[in-house]
A and B are shown apart, each in its own frame.
Chain A
Amino acid sequence: MRLRNELKYLFTQPIVWLCCVFAPLFAFTLSSGLAIAEGDTLKQFSLHLISIHMMQLAVLVGILAPAIFLRDQLHNMDELIGVTPITSKYRELFRVVSLLLCLIMISFIGSLIVWHWQLRVQGLDWEAVNSLLLNSFLLLIPNCSFLVVLAFWVCKRFQSALVTYTILGAIWVGYLFFASITGNPILAGSGIISESLYQASIWLDPFAYSTIIAGFVEPQYWALVINRLMVVTLTIVIYIVAVRTTKKNIKQGTKASEPVLNLKVLYKGIAPKGHNCFIFLTLYKVSILNVLKLPITQLTLVLWSVIVFNSVASSFEYAEAMSVVSPTSIDAINHYAFDMHLLIGCLLLVLWSWQVSCAAKRFHMAELIAASPVKTATLLHSQLFTVATLAIVFSVMSFLGASFAEWFAGSEYHASQHIYILALMLLPLTLVAWVSVCIFNICRSPLVAGLVVIVILILKFTPVMTSFGLTHTFWSLAWTPLQAPSEFWGYRASLNSYWPYMSVWIVAVLSFVVISQLYNHRGAGLGRRAVKVKDTWLALPVFLSVYLFAQLHFNLVAEKPLTNSHKREAFKANYESTFVNWKYKEQPIISHIDANIDFYPDKQFAQFELKYTLTNPHSTAIKRILVGRAGFYKWADIKITGARKAAFYPSLNQAVYEFEDAIKPGEIKILTTQFEIHQAKLWPAVGHQIITPEFSYIRAVPVLPTIGYQVNYELIDKHLREKHGLFARTSSLPSELLAVKENRPSRYDRITMSSTVSTASGYYVVTQGTRIAHQREDNREVFKFKTDSAFNNLPAWLTLPSSLISEQLGEVKLLIYANRKTLTEPADSIAVNLQAMKDTLTWFKDNIVAYKAKTLSMVAAPKFGGAGYALPEIILIENNVGFRAFPSFDAGFDQRYRRAVHETAHQWFGHDIGNSVPDDSAFLVESMAKYIELVMIEKRYGKAAMNALVDYETRRYKQALRVDTLAKQALVNSTKNYDQYSKATIVFARLREKVGDEVIIKALKSVWREYAYPNRPATSMDFIRALQTHAKNSDRVLIKELFLEI
C-alpha cells in the first residue's frame, strides 16, 4: 500500500514522465540502425545493451533522486511528513525501492527497444532473450541498486539537489573516462593505457561492463560472480550508512526576544540618488558570489584543475604507443583545450547560467527583485557578465592545471600559448552561456527553459541531426572549425575559419540578448512584456543575423557542399543506377599526363592545366567515353580532341563525350582541362588537398577528371544497396574468386607524367619523376619533372618550404623534406627515417626486385588524416609521430623506423603489385608491408625488437577482437584493419618461425616474375599459391590455416 502510494507520487512528477519519454527515445536513437545481420549478433546485442545503460543510468538517477529523496525538503513538507506515523526508516526504504523500480522499468524499456531492433534484423533468437534476461539480472538490477543507494546517501548527507546533480554527473563523466582508458569499445578512441589497470577493471568495475566485454575474448565467470557480490555488498553497506546518516538540522530559528518596534524612531522616506552602474555592480557581485561561494562550485573548479593537470601531465609527451615527444605548450594544449574543455565548460556554464538566472526564484526572492526599480537590461546584463566571468574563472582553472602540469613535467612552457587558445575558446563558451541565460530569462518555466537548453546541448554535442540527414554546422551553437594546433604549423589548419563563424554567432547571440532584454520575466516567471507595434525594430537584428547566417551558409557550400552519409549514399546509388551500363564498356586509358601547375601558397590556391594522353588499349574502336569529377568539385572545362560533349549530368558531375570518329585500337586522343583549387577558408585544412604557406599537397584523387566508370563509387553494403533499389551484388571472397587465375583485370593502371610546377620563391616541389630542371622566373621557382618509367596512376604534387636532406643510394636519390625547427633532442628522426628507407630499398633490391624509379621522397606532413601514407615515389609521414617523436624508455622497437619501413614497402606492395584488383582485399598491400616491418626490424635491431613488435601487435589484436561484433574472416579475405595489420604481424611472425624467410622470398620473387607490370596484376591468392609451391609439404597445412582459415 505504502509502496503503491510512493509509486503513485512518483508517476505524477513531470520529471519522471520526461525520463520515461527521453530515456527510451535515447535507446531508440542509439540502437536504431546499429543492429546488423552479420557477425556475432549476441555480442553485438550485449554491447548495445551495455552502451544504453552506461550512457543513461547515472544520468537518470541523478535527475530523479532529488525529486524523490529531497522532495520534503524542497517543498517544505518535511515537518508535515515527519509527524506521520510511519518511521523514517520505512519511509526511506519505500522511496529507495520506488526509485529503484522506476529506474529498472525505464531502463528495461530501453533494453526492450534494443531487443526489438535485434528482433527486426535477426528474427527471434532465444539466446538473445536469454542474454536480455541475464543482462537484466546480473547488470541492470545490481547497477541500478548501487546507483540508487549511492544517490540516497548523497541526498541524505548533503541535502542539496545541486550537490546530487553534480556528484552523479561526476560519476557519469568519471566512469566514461575510466571506460575510455580501459579500452571500452563503446567509446570511440578508447584504449587500454595500462594492462594492470585493465585487469583490475575486469574485477573491480562497479558496473561490470569491463567484465562482460572482457568475457567476449575469454570467459570471466569468476570475475563476474565476485564483482557482482562485491557490488551487492557495497550497495548494502552504503544503504546502511545512509540510513544511519542523520539529517542536518537546517532551520535553526533565532527567536527575537525584543519588542517589535522602536517607537522612538520615525520612518522617513529617502528619494533614491544612486547610479545605475552601482546597481549593476551589486547585482553582479551578489550573482557571482551566489555561485562561487557554493562549496560544490569551488570543489568542481578545483577538481577541474586537477583533471586538466592529470590529463596534461600523464600524456602530453605521448606521441603514440612506445613513442614520446619532448613536449611543448602546444602538446599540453592539445590534451585539454579542445574536446574536454569545451564539453565540460559548456555543461558547467549551462549549469551556472541556470543558477545565476534562477537564483532569485530559487531563493523565493524573485518578486522582491522584480518589483525593485532595476532596469530589466541591468538585471540581464549583470547575469551575462556573471556567466562571462565564470567562463573566465573556468578558463583560469584550466590554465593553472595545465601550467602546473607543464612545470611538473619540466616541458618547454609558453604561457602565451595557453592564454591564446583559452581566449579563443572563451568566446564560444561565453556565447553558449549567454544563450542559456537568455533562454532562462525568456521562458517563464525553468523546466521548459532547461529542456530547451538540453536540446541545444544535444544538438551541439551529438550527431543527432546528421542521423536525420540534416547535416549543418549551424546546429552546433557557437561552433567553429577550430582544430588542435601542431608544432608543424600552429593553428594554420583552422584559424582562418574561426572568425567568420564567430562573428556571425556573436551577432546572432547579441540579437538574442536584445530580444530577451525586452521579453523578459525579470526572474519572477510571472509575465513578460506584450509584443507591441513599436517593437518592430527588433526585426532588424533578427534580419541581420539571418542575413549573416545565410551568407555564411552560401559561402560554406560554395567552398564545399555540406554532405553526410545519407547524401553520399544517395549520390553513389544515383551514380551506379545511371552509369552501371558503362561498367563493362571499353574505355580509353590515361597513358600520360602533362601537368602545368602554378602553386601560390601564400594566396592559398593553385592553377592546374592538364593534358591527358588517352590511349585505346582495346581491340575495338571506342565511340563514347564517360568523363567525370568528384561530386563536390565544380565541373572543369574539359576538351577532348575530336569529341564533343554529348550529355552532361550536373548532379553527378559526369559527362559523356562522343568522338566524331571512334578511337581506333592503339589510337591516341588528347584531353585538356584547366581548373583552380582554392584552400577552403571555412573548413579545416585536412585530407589530401591542402594549400597553405607551410604545406601544400594535392593528390590526383579526387581532384583530377576521371575516365570511365568508377567502381569505387559503388555501394558495397547490401542493406544500403537494397534500400536504394540497386541489384544485390554477388560478392565472392578473394580466396574463392581469385582461386581462378583468370579472375583479374587485364592490365595495371600505369601512367607516365611530365610536370612543370611553379611555386613561391624558396619553396621546393615534390612530385613523381626525376627533376630535370629548376630555374627562377619572375621571383618564382619553376621545377620540371619527368618520370623514367610508368608508375601507379596516383599522381600528387607538393610544395613546401621545408629543409631538404638528400642521400644517394645506388641509382636512387633519397630525399627527406622536414622542418628542422620542430625537431627536438635527440633529433635523430631524419637519420632513422633515412636509414629505414635505405634498409628497405636495399633489402628489396637484394631479395625481390629493385626500386624502379630514380627518386624516393619522404615528406614531414601536418595531420592529414593518417600517420603515414605512401604515394608512388612519395611518402608522407605525420610530423609528430615521424619526426618529433622518439622511442619511449620502455619501447621495444622504434616506431619511426617501423613506419618508414612500412611506407617504403608500399612502393612494392601497393604501387608495384597490389591495389590493382578491385575484388582483392588489402592483404597484398598492408599485410605484406607488415611482413617487411618484421624482417627489417629484426635485421636492424635484432630479434628482441622484432618480438616486441609482435607483442605490441598481439595486444592490439586482442583488444580489437574484444570489441568486434562482426564475423571473423580469413586473413586473405579480411576487410578489417586489425586483421590486415595486427593479425598479419602475428601470422607472419609464426610463418617466419616455421617456414623461414627464404621460402617467403622465393614466393614473392615468383609473384613478381609472373605478375609484375606489364603482366596481368597480381592478387593475394597468387602469393598464397606461390608460398604453397615453395613450402615443404608439411608446412602447407599451416599456410592454409594461417591465411585461408578463420
Chain B
Amino acid sequence: MLTLANINKKYADGTHALNNITIHLPKGMVGLLGPNGAGKSSLMRTLACLQNVDTGHINFDGLNILESPDELRKQLGYLPQQFGVYPAMSCHALLEHIAILKGLNSEQRKRQINELLSLLNLTGFANKKVSKFSGGMKQRFGIAQALLGNPKLIILDEPTAGLDPAERESLNNLLVSISKERLVLLSTHIVEDIENQCRFVAMINQGKLIQSGNVDELVHQLAGNVWLLKRLPSELPAGSLVLSKSYRYGKPIFRVYAPQCPEPEAVAATATLQDKYFYELKSQGAKNATS
C-alpha cells in the first residue's frame, strides 16, 4: 500500500535523519520502532508531506505523494507527537474547523463529529475548551481529529502518550478496528502495543531501516534462542547478546540471545518483539563498533 524507495533526508545541521530507506508497508496496523532520535518523526513528517526529502520516491496506493502532496492530504489522518489547540475554541468548534479543512460539508461534519465525540466519549465535553482538557482527553481529541473524513493513511506519533492503561487499551482496540480498511502507521516506544496490534513492523535506528517484516515472523527468528538468566556467566557462547536486564522482586533477570544454552541454570524463554528489537539494535551497535 505504501512504498518508500531510497528515501534520504539530511537536515541543515548535517543530521542524516533518513538514510536510504526502502520499504513496502502493507494495509493494516504497522508499527514503527526505534530509539529516540532514530528518525521516526522525520519519517512520519515526510509521509505526512510536511517536509521534503532529498532523494527517493514514496508511493501510496499508486499515488506519488512527493509529486502530489495535495492528493495524499485528502487521504491522510495525522496525529503528531505534540500538538496544541487554539485557546479560545471548544472541542466541537475545533473539530468542526478541522473537518472543514478536510473538506467535509455541513451534513457530513454534523454526522461525523457527533459520531467521533460519541466514540471517544467526548460528547459531554464538546463545548469545553480543548486547551483546558487533561492530557488523556486532549489525546482523544487528537485521535478524533485524525479520524475526521475518510483517511486511508493514518499516521499516529505516540498516540498513547499520557494515557492511563485503560485508556491505552481502549484506544489500541479502536485503532485495530479501524485499520482493516486502511494503513495505520503507529509510532510508539511501547513495543508491547506494537506486538499486540500490528501485523507488520519497521525498526529504524540512526535514520536507517534496520529491520522490517511481519511481527510474528520477526519474533519467530529468535525462537528457541532467548534465555533467562539470574546472573551473567563470565563468558557467553560465541554469537550471544545480552538483550536486556530487568528486575523482578529486586533481583536481576537477564534476557540473553544465544544460539545454545549459555549455562546450565539458564531457562528458555519465549521470544518477544522487544527481544527482536533489542537484538537488532545491539547487533547494529556491535557492527558499528566493529566497523
- What is the interface of chain A, defined by CB distance below 8 A to chain B? 251-256, 258-262, 265-276, 278-279, 282-283, 286, 289-290, 293, 359, 363-365, 367-375, 522, 524, 526-530
Q: Per-residue 0/1 for B81-104: is the Cβ within 8 Å of any A Cβ (1 yes, 0 no)?
A: 011111111000000011011111
Contacts of B145 in A (CB 8 A): 368
- What is the interface of chain B, defined by CB distance below 8 A to chain A? 45, 48-52, 70, 73-74, 76, 78, 80, 82-89, 97-98, 100-105, 108-109, 111-112, 115-116, 118-121, 124-125, 128, 132-134, 136-137, 140, 145, 147, 149-151, 163, 166-167, 170-171, 173-174, 177-178, 181-182
Write 20 A-B pairs (CB below 8 A) sorted by A numbering: A253-B133, A256-B137, A260-B120, A261-B121, A261-B170, A261-B171, A261-B174, A262-B121, A268-B115, A269-B147, A269-B181, A270-B104, A272-B102, A273-B103, A363-B87, A367-B45, A367-B83, A373-B101, A528-B52, A530-B52
Q: How far is the CA of A527 from the CA of B174 in the complex (A)?
A: 32
Contacts of B70 in A (CB 8 A): 373, 375
Contacts of A365 in B (CB 8 A): 83-86
Min CB gap B265→A, angstroms: 43
B125 touches A254 (CB 8 A): yes
Q: A270-B111, A272-B150, A274-B103 are known contacts. Are A371 and B49 too (CB-CB below 8 A)? A: yes
Instruction: Give which listed residue, A256, A259, A261, A266, contacts B173 with CB less than 8 A.
Output: A261
Contacts of B45 in A (CB 8 A): 367, 526
Contacts of A359 in B (CB 8 A): 86
Most A CB within 10 A of own CB, among B83, B84, B100, B128? B100
Contacts of B84 in A (CB 8 A): 363-365
A527 touches B51 (CB 8 A): yes
Contacts of A363 in B (CB 8 A): 84-87
Q: How far is the CA of A370 from the CA of B147 in the complex (A)?
A: 16
Q: A261-B120, A270-B112, A290-B86 are known contacts. Are A282 and B102 too (CB-CB below 8 A)? A: no
A526 touches B50 (CB 8 A): yes
Contacts of A370 in B (CB 8 A): 48, 50
A256 touches B111 (CB 8 A): no
Min CB gap B271→A, angstroms: 31
Contacts of A529 in B (CB 8 A): 52
Most B CB within 10 A of own CB, among A270, A282, A522? A270
Q: Which residue of B lies closest to A374 (CB)?
A: B101
B104 touches A272 (CB 8 A): yes
Min CB gap A153→B, angstroms: 23
A265 touches B49 (CB 8 A): no
Contacts of B101 in A (CB 8 A): 279, 282-283, 369, 372-374
B78 touches A254 (CB 8 A): no
Instruction: Give which listed residue, A254, A255, A259, A530, contacts B121 with CB less than 8 A.
Output: A259
Q: Which residue of B lies closest to A368 (CB)?
A: B83
B103 touches A371 (CB 8 A): no
A260 touches B119 (CB 8 A): no
Q: How far is the CA of A583 from the CA of B213 in the complex (A)?
A: 97
A272 touches B149 (CB 8 A): yes
Contacts of A367 in B (CB 8 A): 45, 48, 50, 78, 80, 83
Q: How far is the CA of A522 from the CA of B133 in the complex (A)?
A: 27
A262 touches B118 (CB 8 A): yes
Contacts of A261 in B (CB 8 A): 119-121, 170-171, 173-174
Q: A274-B104, A282-B100, A371-B50 are known contacts. Are A267 and B121 too (CB-CB below 8 A)? A: no
A267 touches B177 (CB 8 A): yes
Contacts of A371 in B (CB 8 A): 48-50, 73, 76, 78, 80
Min CB gap B39→A, angstroms: 14
Contacts of A271 in B (CB 8 A): 149-150
Contacts of B88 in A (CB 8 A): 289-290, 293
Q: Which residue of A lies closest to B182 (CB)?
A: A269
A256 touches B82 (CB 8 A): no
Q: A270-B112, A272-B108, A282-B100 are known contacts. Are A262 and B85 too (CB-CB below 8 A)? A: no
Min CB gap B13→A, angstroms: 13
Q: How far is the CA of A365 from the CA of B45 in the complex (A)?
A: 14
Contacts of A253 in B (CB 8 A): 132-134
7 A-B pairs with least C-beta separation: A364-B84, A269-B150, A272-B103, A527-B51, A373-B73, A371-B78, A260-B170
Q: How far is the CA of A252 from the CA of B74 in the complex (A)?
A: 35
Min CB gap B122→A, angstroms: 8
